[in-house]
Amino acid sequence: MKILVCISHVPDTTSKINFTEGDTKFDTNGVQFVINPNDEFGLTRAMWFKEKQGASVAVVNVGGPETEPTLRKALAIGADEAIRVNTEAVDGFAVAKQLAKVIEDGAYDLVIAGRESIDYNGGMVPGMIAALTNANFVNNCISLEVEGTNATATREIDGGKETVTTSLPLVIGGQKGLVEESDLRIPNMRGIMMARKKPLQVLEPIVTEAETTSVKFEKPAPKGAVTLVAPDNLDELVSLLHNEAKVI
Amino acid sequence: MSVLVYTESEQGKFKKVALEVASYAKAVANQLGTTVTAVTINTSDASALGNYGVDKVLNVTNTQLNTFNAKAYADVVKQAAEKESAKVVIVSSSADSKYLAPLLAVGLQAGYATNVVEAPSSTSPFTVKRTAFTNKAFNMTTINTDVKIVAVSNNSFGLVENSGSAAAEEFTPTVSDFTVNVQSVDKASDKVSIADAEIVVSAGRGLKGPENWGMVEELADVLGAATACSKPVSDLGWRPHSEHVGQTGKPVASNLYIAIGISGAIQHLAGINASKVKVVINTDPEAPFFKAADYGVVGDAFEVVPALIEKLKAFKAQQ
């Protein structure tokens, strides 16, 4: 089985979110970038398929050279090879088209992407690559088993979960549950050394048009201070929630 | 040229998000000077949509569609959009809608914006405000394509009533065979889900053990709320994963979010920030959550929560 894991290069959760150039660009100054958490769960599940079922695992990112350390980290975790499509990730549809080209050229059986990136939160790339490559698709995927060309997956639905059967080629939008937080791997020194020697192929992009354009960013209005209520004065809290906040 | 809205139902009844997206579609239609057409699947009575500004309903009745299938549902909405020559398609942010909409976007060659929180600030260019960086910022985004898809963030636009009536019409799109098939569904039918809940009561490690969740459930019962938990609690197995809210769990966008014994790690706050009013109950006055809260009680949850339940019961009895 040939697996491709799509890796988004995102600011670490604890990063300060600021914007530059008249609030049109994310300010990367002093920001630590990581593998998108939803993608990391998928990458770790891919390692299981590699170790238990002999799958090959490639990782891919659409982005500039600055994303390579993130791809090297994925190689250090255990992916066999990396691909970077050398273009700025301007919108979800454009990224999906670049990835679809990589998937078709590489004839991957299983594509694992995260349900959404934690920066732009578009949540659209997995479904779009499935539609573009005519593969089956399971979103919000919290477990995945593959036997031959048959797959069994569980997806989270509002208020519960459902189990589905489908077949390869398959794209999933993965999340926590594919593996647990405790299963995530920190690259060890040997992994890091080996990652330096693994292939990282840079591909030139295909021509796409941006279906959407980011115009400007805004930060939410600063929050007012918390109103504290004494623990022996909970009538006050009920009254505030009813009369002031109007939520009960 | 009407605005098309996909109005989701469950067991024949519209979900609340369906009425919210209908309200949103009406606002867009007003801006564009056009009408609203809704597409519904296996809904017995679509008349409620008229009260939220829908002018026409395309009713699809097909037993093959009794279980949700993203590809088949996307095909239905696509055929409805083509029939109506819709230039704008509105969907919700439910798990099902966010599953089908990317497939629809490819099918219609449409630009797609998710997590949209307001009516378009302009329709030419078509510009919407959406959340990004997990609710830490807003992003003004222009959709450049001829056909546009907007996923409205749950509980952001609200329900807007419009007196009107919707003309219903049967619609029979072609439905191809499924290649993803549901084997089993595990869903608590008697509980309000986190996605649909107006109020969410959430608790963390401060509760010390799973045996202490009775008071959380009772508080949720009194308020008609959904229960949720922090990541450590779900990692420890005290509560099911389906209750985990936060960046890697479920997002929450309720009217009221009550956090009990949760310190407020940045990953947790990222997932619940879209909630309108936040109440924090914690023994530690330095807990970071108090900085993100609207109301706070510094106190022992084991004393505060039972007392709050009594106060709320008395309040509800008066109402």
**Tens digit of pLDDT for each residue in A165-205?**
999 999 999 999 999 989 999 999 999 999 999 999 999 99
pLDDT at B241: 86
pLDDT at B191: 79
pLDDT at B193: 87
Which option is the CATH number for A2-214: 3.30.390.10, 3.40.50.300, 3.40.640.10, 3.40.50.620? Answer: 3.40.50.620
Whether residue A130 and residue B103 make contact (CB cut-off 8 A), yes or no, is: yes
Mean of the per-residue pLDDT values of chain A: 97
pLDDT > 90: percent of chain B = 90
Domains of chain B: which residue ranges?
Answer: 3-170, 199-318
Average pLDDT over residues B289-312: 97
- Separation of alpha carbons B199 and B224, rounded Å: 7
Distance from CA of A56 to the nearest CA of B (A): 24
Check whether B319 has a pLDDT greater than 90: no
Q: Which chain A residue lies closest to B254 (C-alpha atoms)? A: A247
Average pLDDT over residues B159-163: 92
pLDDT at B128: 98
Average pLDDT over residues B171-191: 92
pLDDT > 70: percent of chain B = 100
Q: Examine domains B3-170 and B199-318 and report if their fold is the same.
A: yes
pLDDT at B125: 97
- State the pLDDT confidence band at B203, using cuts at 50, 70 and 90: very high
pLDDT at A229: 97
pLDDT at B242: 87
Q: Where do we find the tokens 């078709």?
A: A104
- Separation of alpha carbons B228 and B247, rounded Å: 13
Of B112, B267, B297, the CB nearest to A229: B297
pLDDT at A159: 85
> B199-318 has which CATH code?
3.40.50.1220
Contacts of B303 in chain A (CB under 8 A): 231
Domains of chain A: which residue ranges?
Answer: 2-214
pLDDT at B45: 87
| Predicted confidence (pLDDT) per residue in B37-62, tens digit | 999 999 988 999 999 999 999 999 99
Whether residue A137 and residue B95 make contact (CB cut-off 8 A), yes or no, is: no
Whether residue A245 and residue B101 make contact (CB cut-off 8 A), yes or no, is: no
Contacts of B298 in chain A (CB under 8 A): 228, 231
Average pLDDT over residues A153-160: 93
- State the pLDDT confidence band at B124, using cuts at 50, 70 and 90: very high
Contacts of A127 in chain B (CB under 8 A): 70, 99-103, 105-106
- State the pLDDT confidence band at B188, using cuts at 50, 70 and 90: confident
Contacts of B231 in chain A (CB under 8 A): 181
Whether residue A226 and residue B280 make contact (CB cut-off 8 A), yes or no, is: yes
Check whether A223 has a pLDDT greater than 80: yes
Query: Taking the model in full, what pTM does it have?
Result: 0.95
Q: Does domain B3-170 have CATH number 3.40.50.620?
A: yes
Chain A / chain B CB contacts < 8 angstroms:
264
Distance from CA of B167 to the nearest CA of A (A): 30
Whether residue B70 and residue A137 make contact (CB cut-off 8 A), yes or no, is: yes
Q: Which chain A residue lies closest to B197 (C-alpha atoms)? A: A159
pLDDT at B219: 98
Task: Return the higher-pLDDT residue of A27 and B10.
Answer: A27
Query: Are the CB atoms for A146 and A50 separated by under 8 Å?
Result: no
pLDDT at A195: 97
Contacts of B97 in chain A (CB under 8 A): none
pLDDT at B44: 82
Whether residue A237 and residue B140 make contact (CB cut-off 8 A), yes or no, is: no
Check whether A115 has a pLDDT greater than 90: yes
pLDDT at A206: 98
pLDDT at B233: 96
